[in-house]
A = this chain, B = another copy of it.
Amino acid sequence: MVHVTLWQKGMVITMTFTIISVGRLKEAYFADAAAEYVKRIGGFSQCKKLTLIDVKESKNDGEITERIPPSSYVFALCIEGKQLTSRDFSAKLEQAFTSEKKGICFIIGGSEGLSEGVKSIADMRLSMSEMTFPHRLAKIMLLEQLYRALSIQNNRSYHK
C-alpha cells in the first residue's frame, strides 16, 4: 500500500517532540551528534519544538512520568517492543499527528531498562533492534529515525 503523507495532501500539522532518557550523554561525540540531529529536525515545519530531557539513573519512575508533557502520544523504547520499518514509523507518527494528541514523547531507559510501570503508561512499546544498545547510542538512533521520518513526510531524498 502506498502511504500518502500529510505533506502530499497539503496538510502540515505541528507537534512538540520530547525525548526523555535515563542517564546522560557523557561522550562529546554523542552529544555533538545529538545536537546536529536536533538542529536538523528543528528545520522541519512539523516540528514545533524538540526537547531532550535527561533523567538521573538513580531516580524512580515518578521522575520520568512527571516529565511527559500532557496530551502526548508516548513511545516506550524497549527491546521486546514492536519493530517498525522507517516508513511505518513515519506513518505511525502521522497517525499521532492526526489524533487529538499535542505532542509525541519517547522514553529511553538506562542500563536497567524501563520499569513495567513506565512501559504500561506508553501508547506503544517500540523496539529498534533485537540487539541491546546503550541508551546514549539508542538516543542517536532514535533522533536519526525521527529525522528520517520527517524527511519521508516531506518527500525529501534523504530517506532512500
Contact = CB atoms under 8 A, between A and B. Distances in A.
A137 interface: yes
A98 B29 CA distance: 35
Contacts of A159: 132
A28 B85 CA distance: 28
Interface residues of A, number: 28
Contacts of A160: 111
Nearest to A87: B132
A13 interface: no
A32 B129 CA distance: 23
A55 to B, nearest CB: 19
B85 A130 contact: yes
A144 B148 contact: no
B83 A129 contact: yes
Q: Which of A128, A131, A133 has the most CB of B within 10 A?
A: A131
Contacts of A33: 27, 29-30, 33
Nearest to A129: B129
Contacts of A30: 29, 33
Interface in A14-67: 27-30, 32-33, 36
A87 to B, nearest CB: 8
Interface of A: 27-30, 32-33, 36, 83-86, 89, 111, 128-134, 137, 140-141, 144-145, 148, 159-160
Closest 7 CB pairs of A and B: A29-B32, A29-B29, A29-B33, A83-B130, A129-B129, A86-B132, A86-B131
